[in-house]
Structure 1
């Protein structure tokens, strides 16, 4: 069932984004009087479809993409027989270069607008919930395995990143920080200010969501607030204000310690030590397969909650959306230099894992908005068979006054398709490798 939820979210998210992307091409083509022969979400074989006017609309059996077939255009179908004659007025090739450029940018523009609107809506409806810099400095951090590898220690107070103050705890593990050149953290430890350098390629340590939880967290002491009557500790005589102080003799000081030890002991029985005032007692407790025991806690540190008006949400959401593009561009550049590992390239399996095995609409739209911006960026790359490849050739035509031959465009399309197929095979191979290696 968990796998079905992941697959369902991936297919729904991709269907929305691919449908809107191809709709951008269709609407701009029709706006300039071009004939659109086919509009498909998914690749053949066709599952279902209908014809409305001159266009056949369909859903294909292979859901990882889609296409729009515009008359008189060299596309992935490589159907060039109809291009041998003189251009008809309704054909793509008969239109001015600037109109063809807008058509090729139509899908990218729609993906950008979709991503921006999703982020604006999320900011407006959800606002922000985060631990602030002041809270991190006041309470210090807990350093896990990955954090300890670069020199963090429990109790460190992180003052800034690259000499600049940050806003929230999540900024410390953001792509902006991890991708910075010669980046570093300034830390106060036992009254002394020290520097912790961010090693070259350190971002490769964050290959999955689990690894993010192995970096650092704010130090949050906690106590029991409420007992779930159906939980695994309902039979114990626990009361509000009791504290968990150890699990299997491992000391528990902060909530992050507690979460980590439960995740390490899912579906197992542990010896859990509680404290009530001066009294200390130990009981056997079954940890659920989801890493819970059925208690609600009172943290001693409450996150900052910030709401935005609709007017404030527009620039904030737009900034978030485009930051995704900027970070992906930087990561791609560092991938060519070897600083970012190509193992970070994920295919459909990796994308499904990002959506997760529980259906959370806020998370669904957050990831869908992120993927929409990434799709826009990737489609703009000057690779034949992508929109960016067509844009590159059209810009050449507009600057030079000469258009590439249909033969050249056909061969370029073939090369681009081979490159994309190789990239897809590589990405899926990465996904499969991560399954067997636990990545």
Structure 2
């Protein structure tokens, strides 16, 4: 329920402010706003009240929201009004430059919102990020997919497409969007190029988790009941020193040796109360012993850069811009069928499932800022039915001096809505199906 509450809160903030951007610019140019809705009122409204010329309401379907402007073909597909003589207060009666500003009003507010949130966060709790330098101190450890595409345990990522990224969480995205990756391996710098198919393997299986910090001699954090580790006598607090008489400086070396002995037994040397103790344990056919190692906390790698209000403002602008650039890069990745990245596009249902199950204001506001930039980018796409589609035709009108006819605009809007509704149905269907399957199995 907390996850649902979080996504509804975030969506409400974003939708209200996005639509307010359209509303306030429309009122600036004296365009009548007939409706202002949070969520979609398909069939009925949860709440509605007319104040002045505008009906304010909340719909029951949380798929965005809208403002209904007089004299405009939009999501409501109300074409009856367009058959009448244009009125001075209607959207269609206004100059093209004013209509363009109204169309971009929501996008502008989304960008300003992200900028405001980041400025506030940086000036209060600080600018926090996972340090690439800190997390790569001992090199990196990769999963099976990471190794299969060319990485090796102990590699350090030096640069991606010639750029050094100080923020590790962004560097992982850089890798998935990259052309050339420079890695340091055994003291030498080498180049690694990932194909679209290899990127697709990472995205569809391990995702951002395909790489982890390389853990030095691990300490056992917990032993699973009735596991082979428990039967062998491994205990919480044991520090793994060697396996099959092979020293283990890093945890990945231990894991590789365990997987190499599936269905067989291994001897494990652990340091217990400062004394080396050897135990023998059976490895299951799945390559599991049955214990959990204690990893370093993420907080060990986090840099918290403190800002004054004056330094927070440009830092927030830079953060917002970089996020916008990442949205462009990710969209390019989605458009490449071989990566299969389009399969990972999530609806609010899928997004909600990834949110934490505890209420954390710092996380929520950071996520809202990130989501706000994403919403601005999506609405800027030149797709009929989105703000970018309207803006494209208005810009073309300003350049050519020719306006799209009302009939043609109706056809374009209808086609755009069909495309958008189809995409929404597919993403919602996928996420709901996955939710049901996870519950059942």
Class of the TM-score when normalised by the shorter of the 2 chains: 0.7 to 0.9
Note the alpha carbon deviations across 1:52-84, whole angstroms, 9 max, x for none.
211111111112211111111111222222222
Q: Judging changes above 3 Å, is the alpha-carbon distance between structure 1 residues 169 and 94 closer, same or farther for their aligned structure 2 residues?
A: closer
Query: How big is the alpha-carbon RMSD for the aligned residues of Structure 1 and Structure 2?
Result: 3.9
Q: 1:180 aligns with which of 166, 178, 181?
A: 178
Residue 245, structure 1, aligned to residue 240, structure 2:
yes
Aligned 1:93-112 pairs, distance under 5 A: 93-112=92-111
What displacement does 1:24 show? Answer: 0.7
Q: Judging changes above 3 Å, is the alpha-carbon distance between structure 1 residues 105 and 158 closer, same or farther for their aligned structure 2 residues?
A: closer
Q: C-alpha separation between the residues in 2 aligned to 1:28 and 1:69?
A: 13
- Higher mean C-alpha displacement, 195-204 vs 12-21: 195-204
Q: C-alpha separation between the residues in 2 aligned to 1:298 and 1:325?
A: 29
Assess if the C-alpha contact under 8 Å between 1:246 and 1:252 holds in 2.
Answer: yes
| Gap regions ≥5 residues in structure 1 | 226-237, 259-270, 283-290
Q: Judging changes above 3 Å, is the alpha-carbon distance between structure 1 residues 210 and 432 closer, same or farther for their aligned structure 2 residues?
A: farther
What displacement does 1:248 show? Answer: 12
What displacement does 1:216 show? Answer: 3.0
| Gap regions ≥5 residues in structure 2 | 222-234, 255-267, 280-289
Q: What is aligned with 1:233?
A: none
Q: C-alpha separation between the residues in 1 aligned to 2:278 and 2:75?
A: 69
What displacement does 1:388 show? Answer: 1.1
Q: What is aligned with 1:196?
A: 192
Q: What is aligned with 1:345?
A: 345
Q: What is aligned with 1:261?
A: none
Q: C-alpha separation between the residues in 2 aligned to 1:127 and 1:61?
A: 37
Q: What is aligned with 1:21?
A: 18
Q: C-alpha separation between the residues in 2 aligned to 1:81 and 1:407?
A: 12
What displacement does 1:391 show? Answer: 0.9
Q: What is aligned with 2:368?
A: 368
What displacement does 1:155 show? Answer: 2.6
Matched position secondary structure for 1:158: strand
Q: What is aligned with 2:331?
A: 332
Q: C-alpha separation between the residues in 1 aligned to 2:354 and 2:348?
A: 10
How many residue pairs match? The answer is 404
Assess if the C-alpha contact under 8 Å between 2:182 and 2:189 holds in 1.
Answer: no
Note the alpha carbon deviations across 1:372-407, whole angstroms, 9 max, x for none.
111111111111111111111211221222211111
Q: Judging changes above 3 Å, is the alpha-carbon distance between structure 1 residues 311 and 219 closer, same or farther for their aligned structure 2 residues?
A: farther
Q: C-alpha separation between the residues in 1 aligned to 2:32 and 2:165?
A: 52
Matched position secondary structure for 2:346: coil
Q: C-alpha separation between the residues in 1 aligned to 2:402 and 2:379?
A: 24
Aligned 1:412-423 pairs, distance under 5 A: 412-423=412-423
TM-score after normalising by structure 1: 0.79
TM-score after normalising by structure 2: 0.79
What displacement does 1:435 show? Answer: 4.6
Assess if the C-alpha contact under 8 Å between 1:36 and 1:69 holds in 2.
Answer: yes
Residue 154, structure 1, aligned to residue 150, structure 2:
no
Residue 91, structure 1, aligned to residue 90, structure 2:
yes
Q: C-alpha separation between the residues in 2 aligned to 1:153 and 1:89?
A: 67
Residue 8, structure 1, aligned to residue 5, structure 2:
yes
Q: What is aligned with 1:394?
A: 394
Assess if the C-alpha contact under 8 Å between 1:244 and 1:252 holds in 2.
Answer: no
Q: Judging changes above 3 Å, is the alpha-carbon distance between structure 1 residues 299 and 14 closer, same or farther for their aligned structure 2 residues?
A: closer
Q: What is aligned with 2:133?
A: 133
